[in-house]
Amino acid sequence: MLFTFFFFMNAAFSQPGREEIIQYKIKSVTKTYLMGKPAQKIEEKNYYTRKGDDSLEYYCGKISFTFKSFTDSKGTITKLEKYDAENAMDEVHLYKYNKDGSYSIEIAGHSAGTILQSEYDRNNKCLREIYSGTDTLQFSYNDKGKLDKIFYYTKGEEPEQIGSIIYGSKGLAERAESLPEEKARYFKYNNKGLVSEMKTVTKGKTDNTFFYSYEFWE
Protein backbone atom coordinates (compact mmCIF):
# COMPACT_ATOMS: atom_id res chain seq x y z
CA MET A 1 0.00 0.00 0.00
CA LEU A 2 2.99 2.32 0.42
CA PHE A 3 3.45 2.33 -3.37
CA THR A 4 -0.17 3.23 -4.03
CA PHE A 5 -0.29 5.90 -1.35
CA PHE A 6 2.94 7.52 -2.57
CA PHE A 7 1.70 7.79 -6.14
CA PHE A 8 -1.81 8.79 -5.12
CA MET A 9 -0.53 11.70 -3.08
CA ASN A 10 1.74 12.82 -5.90
CA ALA A 11 -1.14 12.56 -8.36
CA ALA A 12 -3.53 14.55 -6.18
CA PHE A 13 -2.57 18.21 -6.60
CA SER A 14 1.14 18.03 -5.67
CA GLN A 15 1.64 20.22 -8.76
CA PRO A 16 -0.86 21.68 -11.24
CA GLY A 17 -1.84 19.07 -13.79
CA ARG A 18 -1.29 19.44 -17.52
CA GLU A 19 -4.94 20.48 -17.95
CA GLU A 20 -4.52 23.42 -15.53
CA ILE A 21 -1.16 24.47 -16.97
CA ILE A 22 -2.69 24.77 -20.45
CA GLN A 23 -6.05 26.22 -19.34
CA TYR A 24 -4.57 28.97 -17.15
CA LYS A 25 -1.54 29.60 -19.41
CA ILE A 26 0.84 28.97 -16.52
CA LYS A 27 4.41 30.01 -17.23
CA SER A 28 5.95 28.88 -13.94
CA VAL A 29 5.04 27.31 -10.62
CA THR A 30 7.09 27.91 -7.46
CA LYS A 31 6.63 25.48 -4.56
CA THR A 32 8.18 26.25 -1.16
CA TYR A 33 8.26 24.13 2.00
CA LEU A 34 10.40 23.24 5.02
CA MET A 35 12.46 20.05 5.17
CA GLY A 36 15.00 18.48 7.51
CA LYS A 37 16.15 19.07 11.06
CA PRO A 38 16.86 21.88 11.62
CA ALA A 39 14.21 22.85 9.09
CA GLN A 40 15.46 24.48 5.92
CA LYS A 41 13.36 26.31 3.35
CA ILE A 42 13.22 24.44 0.03
CA GLU A 43 12.13 26.12 -3.20
CA GLU A 44 11.29 24.20 -6.36
CA LYS A 45 10.45 26.14 -9.51
CA ASN A 46 9.14 24.66 -12.75
CA TYR A 47 8.81 26.55 -16.05
CA TYR A 48 6.51 25.59 -18.92
CA THR A 49 6.26 26.51 -22.59
CA ARG A 50 3.26 28.38 -24.02
CA LYS A 51 1.84 24.99 -25.05
CA GLY A 52 2.10 23.57 -21.52
CA ASP A 53 5.20 21.41 -21.83
CA ASP A 54 8.14 21.28 -19.42
CA SER A 55 10.87 23.84 -20.04
CA LEU A 56 13.13 24.36 -16.99
CA GLU A 57 13.40 23.09 -13.41
CA TYR A 58 15.16 24.87 -10.53
CA TYR A 59 15.95 23.60 -7.04
CA CYS A 60 16.81 26.18 -4.37
CA GLY A 61 17.77 28.74 -7.00
CA LYS A 62 20.00 26.41 -9.03
CA ILE A 63 18.99 24.92 -12.35
CA SER A 64 18.47 21.17 -12.09
CA PHE A 65 16.96 20.22 -15.46
CA THR A 66 16.40 21.73 -18.90
CA PHE A 67 14.15 20.46 -21.68
CA LYS A 68 14.68 20.56 -25.43
CA SER A 69 11.53 20.24 -27.55
CA PHE A 70 11.06 18.80 -31.04
CA THR A 71 8.07 19.47 -33.29
CA ASP A 72 6.72 18.22 -36.61
CA SER A 73 6.04 20.33 -39.72
CA LYS A 74 2.74 21.55 -38.20
CA GLY A 75 4.41 22.74 -35.00
CA THR A 76 3.01 19.86 -32.92
CA ILE A 77 5.40 18.63 -30.26
CA THR A 78 6.62 15.08 -30.79
CA LYS A 79 9.46 14.75 -28.30
CA LEU A 80 11.10 16.36 -25.27
CA GLU A 81 14.64 15.65 -24.16
CA LYS A 82 15.44 16.27 -20.49
CA TYR A 83 19.01 17.20 -19.49
CA ASP A 84 20.52 17.50 -16.01
CA ALA A 85 22.61 20.38 -14.68
CA GLU A 86 25.74 18.92 -16.30
CA ASN A 87 23.94 18.71 -19.67
CA ALA A 88 23.73 14.92 -19.61
CA MET A 89 20.52 13.44 -21.00
CA ASP A 90 18.24 12.17 -18.23
CA GLU A 91 14.94 11.31 -19.96
CA VAL A 92 13.12 11.33 -23.28
CA HIS A 93 9.40 12.18 -23.47
CA LEU A 94 7.62 10.82 -26.56
CA TYR A 95 4.22 12.18 -27.63
CA LYS A 96 1.72 10.03 -29.54
CA TYR A 97 -1.59 11.42 -30.87
CA ASN A 98 -4.88 9.71 -31.73
CA LYS A 99 -7.45 10.74 -34.36
CA ASP A 100 -10.01 11.67 -31.69
CA GLY A 101 -7.66 14.25 -30.15
CA SER A 102 -6.55 12.12 -27.22
CA TYR A 103 -2.85 11.48 -26.77
CA SER A 104 -0.20 9.88 -24.58
CA ILE A 105 3.22 10.89 -23.27
CA GLU A 106 5.77 8.14 -22.70
CA ILE A 107 8.74 8.93 -20.45
CA ALA A 108 11.83 6.80 -20.94
CA GLY A 109 14.77 7.07 -18.56
CA HIS A 110 18.25 7.19 -20.09
CA SER A 111 19.23 3.51 -20.54
CA ALA A 112 16.34 2.52 -18.24
CA GLY A 113 13.40 1.97 -20.61
CA THR A 114 9.87 3.30 -20.11
CA ILE A 115 9.29 4.53 -16.56
CA LEU A 116 5.94 6.26 -17.05
CA GLN A 117 3.22 6.48 -19.68
CA SER A 118 0.45 9.05 -19.19
CA GLU A 119 -2.75 8.98 -21.24
CA TYR A 120 -4.86 12.12 -21.81
CA ASP A 121 -8.19 12.88 -23.41
CA ARG A 122 -8.63 15.64 -26.00
CA ASN A 123 -9.17 18.20 -23.20
CA ASN A 124 -5.83 17.39 -21.54
CA LYS A 125 -7.37 15.49 -18.63
CA CYS A 126 -5.12 12.69 -17.43
CA LEU A 127 -7.01 9.39 -17.63
CA ARG A 128 -4.30 6.92 -16.70
CA GLU A 129 -0.68 6.72 -15.54
CA ILE A 130 1.25 3.48 -16.04
CA TYR A 131 4.48 3.08 -14.08
CA SER A 132 7.20 0.80 -15.53
CA GLY A 133 4.54 -0.99 -17.59
CA THR A 134 2.81 -2.60 -14.59
CA ASP A 135 1.46 -0.39 -11.78
CA THR A 136 -1.40 1.78 -12.98
CA LEU A 137 -3.30 4.74 -11.59
CA GLN A 138 -6.69 5.38 -13.20
CA PHE A 139 -8.46 8.73 -12.75
CA SER A 140 -12.23 9.19 -12.61
CA TYR A 141 -14.01 12.53 -13.15
CA ASN A 142 -17.44 13.68 -11.97
CA ASP A 143 -20.18 15.18 -14.16
CA LYS A 144 -18.54 18.62 -13.85
CA GLY A 145 -15.25 17.33 -15.22
CA LYS A 146 -13.51 17.41 -11.83
CA LEU A 147 -11.23 14.64 -10.60
CA ASP A 148 -13.10 12.74 -7.88
CA LYS A 149 -11.67 9.21 -7.57
CA ILE A 150 -8.33 7.49 -8.10
CA PHE A 151 -7.97 3.75 -8.69
CA TYR A 152 -4.92 1.49 -8.62
CA TYR A 153 -4.24 -1.86 -10.27
CA THR A 154 -1.49 -4.03 -11.68
CA LYS A 155 -1.67 -6.40 -14.65
CA GLY A 156 -4.35 -9.02 -14.19
CA GLU A 157 -6.03 -7.26 -11.28
CA GLU A 158 -9.28 -5.34 -10.97
CA PRO A 159 -8.99 -1.59 -10.23
CA GLU A 160 -9.23 -0.75 -6.52
CA GLN A 161 -10.17 2.73 -5.30
CA ILE A 162 -7.30 4.19 -3.27
CA GLY A 163 -8.24 7.86 -3.11
CA SER A 164 -11.07 10.36 -3.32
CA ILE A 165 -11.35 14.13 -3.76
CA ILE A 166 -13.92 16.06 -1.71
CA TYR A 167 -15.24 19.34 -3.13
CA GLY A 168 -16.75 22.36 -1.40
CA SER A 169 -19.72 24.54 -2.34
CA LYS A 170 -17.56 26.70 -4.65
CA GLY A 171 -16.55 23.69 -6.72
CA LEU A 172 -12.94 23.64 -5.47
CA ALA A 173 -11.31 20.59 -3.91
CA GLU A 174 -11.22 20.88 -0.12
CA ARG A 175 -9.22 17.75 0.54
CA ALA A 176 -7.83 14.58 -1.02
CA GLU A 177 -8.09 11.41 1.05
CA SER A 178 -6.11 8.20 0.79
CA LEU A 179 -7.98 4.93 1.35
CA PRO A 180 -7.86 3.18 3.76
CA GLU A 181 -5.03 5.09 5.52
CA GLU A 182 -5.84 8.12 7.63
CA LYS A 183 -3.88 10.42 5.34
CA ALA A 184 -5.15 13.51 3.56
CA ARG A 185 -4.24 16.74 1.82
CA TYR A 186 -6.08 20.02 2.48
CA PHE A 187 -6.09 22.93 0.03
CA LYS A 188 -6.36 26.70 -0.08
CA TYR A 189 -6.66 28.74 -3.29
CA ASN A 190 -5.69 32.05 -4.85
CA ASN A 191 -8.11 34.38 -6.67
CA LYS A 192 -7.68 32.41 -9.91
CA GLY A 193 -8.80 29.15 -8.29
CA LEU A 194 -5.31 27.63 -8.28
CA VAL A 195 -3.87 25.93 -5.20
CA SER A 196 -1.90 28.40 -3.07
CA GLU A 197 -1.39 26.18 -0.01
CA MET A 198 -1.48 22.43 0.53
CA LYS A 199 -1.26 20.81 3.96
CA THR A 200 -0.48 17.11 4.31
CA VAL A 201 -2.00 15.41 7.37
CA THR A 202 -1.61 11.94 8.90
CA LYS A 203 -4.08 10.85 11.60
CA GLY A 204 -4.93 14.47 12.37
CA LYS A 205 -1.30 15.62 12.63
CA THR A 206 0.22 17.97 10.06
CA ASP A 207 3.22 16.48 8.23
CA ASN A 208 4.12 19.46 6.08
CA THR A 209 2.69 22.52 4.37
CA PHE A 210 3.50 23.52 0.79
CA PHE A 211 3.02 27.02 -0.64
CA TYR A 212 2.52 27.80 -4.35
CA SER A 213 2.95 30.92 -6.48
CA TYR A 214 2.55 31.32 -10.23
CA GLU A 215 3.62 33.29 -13.29
CA PHE A 216 1.43 33.39 -16.39
CA TRP A 217 1.94 33.84 -20.11
CA GLU A 218 0.37 37.04 -21.40
For the stretch 116-130, pLDDT in tens is 999 999 999 999 999
User: Is the pTM here over 0.75, yes or no?
Assistant: yes
- pLDDT tens digits, 16-74: 899 999 999 999 999 999 998 899 999 999 999 999 999 999 999 999 999 999 999 99
Q: What is the pLDDT of residues 21-30, one digit of tens each?
A: 999 999 999 9
Average pLDDT, the chain: 90
**Euclidean distance between the first and the last CA atom of the chain, given in angstroms as a whole number:** 43
Q: What share of the chain has pLDDT > 70, as a percent? A: 93
Provide mean pLDDT across the span 181-196: 90
In the chain, domain spans: 2-216
Please report which confidence band the pLDDT of residue 11 belongs to, taking 50, 70 and 90 as the band edges.
low
What's the confidence (pLDDT) of residue 183? 83
C-alpha dist (Å) from residue 66 to 74, 104, 152, 182, 214: 24, 21, 31, 37, 19
Could you tell me the pLDDT band of residue 2, with boundaries at 50, 70 and 90? very low
